[in-house]
């Protein structure tokens, strides 16, 4: 099925949505006794056409996340210096070399083969997050929580945090146990960064310790 690209973005509308999302983040951080400045807002642009990215720059959005290696390379090359880029899609070992020149952070390391490729092609500045399947969904990528310690010990890449993708839900509270579990794992292993929370549940993620939230539809609607 062909993916449906977002077109006709309005910079003023996107900027208004970003202000509202940041206000939500500030409230959630306050409830948790956190500094909202410790939470980064990442725009997930998987469905945003390359030609529309200038609208995001006009709206003051600077941190973007892309799911596909080839789209990351194309978009980053088309807007040199305009954005900071993260890779947030499923990480395939054969795509690592293509991703590294463009992404300051890879969110989805989940295999030994991809870790080896990052160790081979990365630099000392290359940072990665390990994706953890805290919900136990066998259909999804991710390291099992009980295997995380061994994975980190053997990983040649520079791991600075964890990422997770809870099951889709209409109730943000349904994601809270998964976010809390990821936070505990990060604390156990001395990792500071937590990429968790999307358009469906980013406020709950911030309450549970997210340092990066990945939003799409709520920013562009």
What is the model's pLDDT at position 123? 87
What is the per-residue pLDDT for 2?
42
**pLDDT value, residue 21:** 97
For the entire predicted model, the pTM comes to 0.95
> Which parts of the chain sit beneath pLDDT 50?
1-2
Per DSSP, which regions of 89-211 are E strands? 105-109, 127-131, 158-163, 193-195
Q: Which residues of 98-111 are buried (b: 16+ CB within 10 A; e: fewer)?
A: bbbebbebbbbbbb
CA distance 53 to 21: 19
Backbone angles phi, psi at 187, to 5 degrees: -65, -40
**Percent of the residues in the chain that have a pLDDT greater than 90, as a whole number:** 89
pLDDT of residue 3: 52
pLDDT at 172: 96
Domains and CATH numbers, the chain: 11-220 (3.20.20.10)
Predicted confidence (pLDDT) per residue in 184-213, tens digit = 999 999 999 999 999 999 999 999 999 999
Q: Are 55 and 9 in contact (CB under 8 A)?
A: yes
- Other Cβ atoms closer than 10 A to 74: 13
Structure tokens given for 160: 């600075």
Q: Are 135 and 103 in contact (CB under 8 A)?
A: no
DSSP 3-state helix, strand, coil percentages of the chain (rounded to 5)? 45, 20, 40
Q: Pull the structure tokens for residue 156.
A: 């040649």
Residue 162: count of CB within 10 angstroms of its CB: 28
pLDDT at residue 12 in the model:
94
With beta carbons less than 8 A apart as the criterion, state whether 39 and 206 touch: yes
The confidence score (pLDDT) of residue 31 equals 97
Torsion (CA) 44, 134, 158, 87 in degrees, nearest 10: -20
């Amino acid at each position: 099925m062909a993916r449906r690209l977002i077109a006709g973005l309005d910079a003023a509308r996107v900027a208004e949505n970003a202000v509202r999302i940041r206000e939500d983040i500030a409230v959630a951080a306050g409830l948790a006794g956190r500094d909202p400045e410790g939470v980064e807002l990442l725009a997930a642009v998987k469905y945003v056409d390359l030609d529309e990215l200038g609208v995001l720059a006009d709206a003051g959005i600077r941190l973007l996340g892309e799911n596909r290696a080839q789209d990351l390379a194309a978009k980053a090359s088309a807007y040199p210096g305009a954005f900071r880029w993260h890779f947030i899609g499923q990480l395939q070992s054969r795509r690592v070399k293509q991703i590294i020149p463009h992404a300051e952070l890879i969110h989805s390391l989940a295999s030994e083969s991809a870790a080896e490729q990052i160790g081979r092609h990365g630099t000392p500045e290359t940072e990665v997050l390990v994706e953890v399947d805290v919900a136990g969904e066998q259909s999804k990528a991710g390291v099992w929580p009980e295997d995380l310690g061994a994975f980190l010990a053997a990983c040649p890449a520079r791991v600075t945090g964890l990422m997770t993708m809870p099951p889709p839900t209409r109730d943000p509270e349904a994601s809270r146990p998964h976010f809390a579990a990821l936070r505990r794992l990060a604390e156990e292993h001395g990792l500071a960064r937590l990429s968790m929370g999307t358009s469906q549940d980013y406020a709950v993620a911030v309450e549970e310790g997210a340092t990066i939230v990945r939003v799409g539809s709520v920013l562009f609607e």
